[in-house]
Amino acid sequence: MKALLLHEPNTWREMKIEEIEKPVAKRGEVVVKVEAASLNPVDYKTATNGNPSWTYPHIVGLDVAGTVEEVGEDVTEWQKGDRVVYHGDFNKKGGYAEYGVTTAHTISRIPDSITFVEAAALPTAGYTAYQALFRKFPMNAIHTILIHGGAGGVGGFGIQLAKAAGKTVISTASAHNHEYVKSLGADHVIDYREEDVKARVMEITNGRGVDAVLDTVSRDNATASLDMIAYNGHIAHIAGAPDYTKVNPFTKVISFHEVALNAIHHNHDEIAERDLAKMGDEFLQLVQEKKVSAIVERVISLSEVPQALAELSERHVRGKIVVDRNK
């Protein structure tokens, strides 16, 4: 099969389409004919550092949508031709290829009204936001939420999910992205480059602070956000834990939540693994009901992935970039 191959760490800018052996479904697995795959920061980050579990040439790409091509032994719930989407394990070969392979119990069925490109945009960024909001936060007790990096993938999905749940959403973004972030549902957008974020948050919340923060930026940003959280509030972080010592015991009693979606694949916990499929099903239903957009900003060919990853690495890409393998 044809695939975009990484021959050694930190050479992802030079990846080219080459031939490699097609994967075979083992017990409990399915081979998927890839129709679309999306790009995420984790792709260039892991491709830069490599992974001890990889054999080279390696294939990156975690988010895959396509049709089931082959089912392994003991797989009874899927058959050839089923339209599916999945979040892959970065320890294994990924989806920037004609075919991908994954565990059968972690995939979700794509409704007919949703395209492969739309479905492929969802897993890494969308499920991360979904896990933070609906697996970590007690959403029934949250009224205001601050989502950093609202123009990005996780932030953009987080805004939509929070708004669909009826919450007041504050977000941060560069000035040129304010209208876009508002279009996703943010009630207030703060220019983190020009404004005092804490002062604006406290102004918006009448000095109380927000009930929850979803930080997608950095450890330092997560730490700075602690001063913006109300009593008994929450923070979920995906880019480094905040400095917990900045909050004295018996004061704000903040709850801290680490979100690391790919870790699901590495704990040998089938209940957690099956929740990937459940989150996918729930997310796809929201897209089907048009409560959430797939925020696809650009569709590219497989050969354009290295350049697009370079743009992602500069951290100013809006929404999602998706590969249409037929383009």
* 123 pLDDT more than 90: yes
Same domain membership, residue 117 and residue 71: yes
Q: What pLDDT, on a 0 to 100 scale, did the predictor assign at position 315? A: 81
Q: What pLDDT, on a 0 to 100 scale, did the predictor assign at position 318? A: 94
Same domain membership, residue 8 and residue 117: yes
Query: What is the total residue count of the chain?
Result: 327
Averaged confidence pLDDT in the chain: 97
pLDDT cut 90: percent of the chain above it: 98
Same domain membership, residue 288 and residue 179: no
- The mean per-residue pLDDT over the stretch 271-299 comes to 97
Same domain membership, residue 206 and residue 320: no
- pLDDT confidence band for 63 (50 / 70 / 90): very high
DSSP letter (8 states) at residue 23:
P
Same domain membership, residue 157 and residue 114: no
Bond preceding residue 23 cis, omega within 30 of 0: no
Q: Which of 259, 281, 305 delimits the end of a domain?
A: 259
Same domain membership, residue 97 and residue 145: no
| Contact (Cβ atoms closer than 8 angstroms) between residue 28 and residue 105 | yes
Same domain membership, residue 166 and residue 135: yes
- The mean per-residue pLDDT over the stretch 211-230 comes to 97
Number of domains in the chain: 2
Closest CA to 227 of 262, 196, 257, 265: 196
Q: Structure tokens of 266?
A: 């590495």
Over residues 237-256, the pLDDT tens digits come to 999 999 999 999 999 999 99
Same domain membership, residue 134 and residue 253: yes
Packed helices 305-313 and 41-49: angle between N→C axes, nearest 10 degrees: 100
- The mean per-residue pLDDT over the stretch 20-24 comes to 97
C-alpha neighbours within 13 Å on the C-beta side of residue 116: 20
Q: What pLDDT, on a 0 to 100 scale, did the predictor assign at position 327? A: 86
Same domain membership, residue 254 and residue 130: yes
Same domain membership, residue 192 and residue 87: no
- The mean per-residue pLDDT over the stretch 118-140 comes to 98
- The mean per-residue pLDDT over the stretch 110-131 comes to 98
- The mean per-residue pLDDT over the stretch 18-35 comes to 98
- Residue span of the structural domain in which 175 resides: 126-259
Question: Which CATH number belongs to the domain containing residue 57 in this structure?
Answer: 3.90.180.10
| Contact (Cβ atoms closer than 8 angstroms) between residue 256 and residue 232 | no
Q: What is the secondary structure of 242-289 as a DSSP string? A: --GGGS-TTTS--EEEE--GGGGGGTT-HHHHHHHHHHHHHHHHHHHT
* 316 pLDDT more than 90: no
Q: What pLDDT, on a 0 to 100 scale, did the predictor assign at position 150? A: 96
* 270 pLDDT more than 90: yes
Same domain membership, residue 133 and residue 237: yes
Question: Which CATH number belongs to the domain containing residue 222 in this structure?
Answer: 3.40.50.720
Over residues 77-110, the pLDDT tens digits come to 999 999 999 999 999 999 999 999 999 999 999 9
Which residues, including other chains, have CB under 8 Å from residue 260's CB and lie 6 or more apart? 238
* 193 pLDDT more than 90: yes
Q: Which of 259, 282, 299 delimits the end of a domain?
A: 259
Give the integer Cα–Cα distance in Å for 251 and 239: 25
Q: What pLDDT, on a 0 to 100 scale, did the predictor assign at position 151? A: 96
Q: What pLDDT, on a 0 to 100 scale, did the predictor assign at position 309? A: 97
Q: What pLDDT, on a 0 to 100 scale, did the predictor assign at position 110? A: 98
Same domain membership, residue 294 and residue 251: no
Q: Which of 240, 259, 278 delimits the end of a domain?
A: 259
Instruction: Report which secondary-structure segment, H or E, holds 219.
Output: helix 219-225
